[in-house]
Amino acid sequence: MKEKTLFMSIVMIAVMIVLAVCLGYFYNESNKEEKVCPNVDTSSITKTLKDNQKELIKQQEDIKNQIYLKKTNCNPTYILEGCKSTIENIATDLSKARDYELDVYDCTEFSQTLSGVYNDLGYKAKTKSVQVDCNSGLFENIACSKYNGWHSIVELDNVYVESTTGDIITPDKYKFYGLR
């Protein structure tokens, strides 16, 4: 009788081990992550994205260097007549360095980059979100209507800069930018 009980215990242990192995296998199989596109090699896409990011950083550094070399002796305010200010030169150069692409490189990215360049040069600049007058004729209708008039500009010591064109926003245009 003891032998039969011992044999049944061994069989029960063996059955439990088999069940545990099977459960572990099915659990692992059910939790495996499936590729959304199994035939796509994502390593090449990742490499391209990283290369593009490195190229953008390099372009930004090149722009910063070009802007630094093009600094003028002008007073850095837009009021000085006959002399385009350093602030406006920087903004104009930066706006020409890259094409505007809605949802790719638009007012948000132009403003962030320009604000960063100004700050690197010792100015105190920040991006500012404003709600513009889409009917003023100053803004692209597609972008303006898509974002309900929300637009990004740069504020720098009470001077506002339209980062997509490099223009200083003069007080007579404040109303179109929702500024006071």
Question: Using only C-alpha atoms, what is the Rg of the chain?
Answer: 31
Q: Look at residue 22 in the predicted model and tell me its pLDDT.
A: 72
Number of domains in the chain: 1
Both tokens of residue 121? 């040069």
Residue 116 covered by a domain: yes
* Residue 3 or residue 153, greater confidence: 153
Domain span including residue 172: 61-177
Residue 87 inside a domain? The answer is: yes
Identify whether 25 is part of a domain. no
- Residue 49 domain-assigned (yes or no): no
- Predicted TM-score (pTM) of the model is 0.54
What is the residue-averaged pLDDT of the chain?
A: 79
- At 159, is the secondary structure helix, strand, or coil? strand
- Reported residue count of the chain is 180
Tokens of 9: 């215990």
Q: How far apart are the C-alpha atoms of 131 and 60, rounded to whole Å?
A: 28
Q: What is the pLDDT of residue 60?
A: 79
In a domain, 118, yes or no: yes
The answer as to whether 4 is a domain residue is no
Q: In this structure, is residue 48 part of a structural domain?
A: no
Q: Which residues pair with 173 in a beta bridge?
A: none
Tens-digit pLDDT profile for residues 33-68 = 555 555 666 677 777 778 888 888 888 777 766 655
- Between CA 86 and CA 73 the distance in angstroms is 8
| pLDDT at residue 142 in the model | 84
User: Which token pair is 34?
Assistant: 């499936």
pLDDT at 77: 43
Per-residue pLDDT reduced to its tens digit, 115-153: 999 888 888 999 999 999 988 888 888 888 888 889 999
Please indicate, yes or no, if residue 168 is contained in any of the structural domains: yes
Confidence at residue 174, expressed as pLDDT on a 0 to 100 scale: 92
The proportion of the chain whose per-residue pLDDT surpasses 70, expressed as a percent, equals 75
Q: What are the tens digits of pLDDT across the range 163-175?
A: 999 999 989 999 9
